[in-house]
Amino acid sequence: MSEAAETSLVQAKTAVKQQAYYMKRALDQRHLRTALQHAATMLGELRTGALGPKAYYDLYMGVTTELRHLEDYFESERARGRPVLELYELVQHAGNVLPRLYLLLAVGGVYIGSKEAPAKEILTDLVEMCRGVQQPLRGLFLRNYLLQITKDKLPDAGSDYEGDGGDVADAIAFVLNNFGEMTKLWVRRVIKRDLTTNLKLTYLGLTYLRLTNFRH
């Protein structure tokens, strides 16, 4: 990693910690709109173009770790009886595309779990919205987050979401759709610069495991 990239990473991680602190403080005070503003600023650090895949992964892990606090808050709001659709619509006010999509995915996982709408419809909505990010590295990590938040919420055979939420065909269609979009992003990335072998295998492995875990 170059000295400039290392400096950029340190600055970004510092900003993430600062905004995460303010986000969590606002959540403790139940000031959701304020918390979302800080979350969006924190997520905005992922818009950087100054980092390579390895450093970007480091930053991504720090951001998504902090984002779990917001995911937990969304879940607690659902448990209190707040319609998740209301939260789903609320996060769409974030200004920049990338932070807005991360927030939509964060609440989207809770939305599926609430069963307020069929899982297959929400999954389709989420995977299509991710097309809003076409920068290869950002798009790949965004779609990896999509896989993370939906890993136990697909309408697989025998799952809680099968039936009105869809079936195994819908689950496979979602995974393949996301994989297809990730492949397009890889191709763009490779044209500019080869991805590291480990990064390729990570994404291929995630999708392979998802497909082989479906029950028939």
pLDDT value at residue 93: 81
Question: Averaged over 157-170, what is the pLDDT?
Answer: 91
pLDDT value at residue 2: 82
Tens digit of each residue's pLDDT (9 = 90 or more) over 48-103: 999 999 999 999 999 999 999 999 999 999 999 999 999 988 998 877 999 999 99
Give dist(CA 35, CA 88) in Å, integer: 15
pTM strictly above 0.75: yes
Angle between helices 53-79 and 136-150 (to 10 degrees): 40
- SS3 category, 166: strand
Q: Are 66 and 15 in contact (CB under 8 A)?
A: no
Give dist(CA 162, CA 206) in Å, integer: 22
Question: Averaged over 165-190, what is the pLDDT?
Answer: 90
pLDDT value at residue 22: 98
pLDDT of 192 higher than 70 = no
pLDDT value at residue 36: 95
Q: Which two tokens mark 29?
A: 């005070």
Q: Which amino acid is at 169?
A: A
- Spell 9-48 as b/e; 16+ CB within 10 A means b: beebbeebeebbebbbebbeeeebeebbbbbbbbbbbbeb
Q: Are 53 and 202 in contact (CB under 8 A)?
A: no
pLDDT of 158 higher than 90 = no
Residue among 120, 198, 205 at smallest CA distance from 162? 120
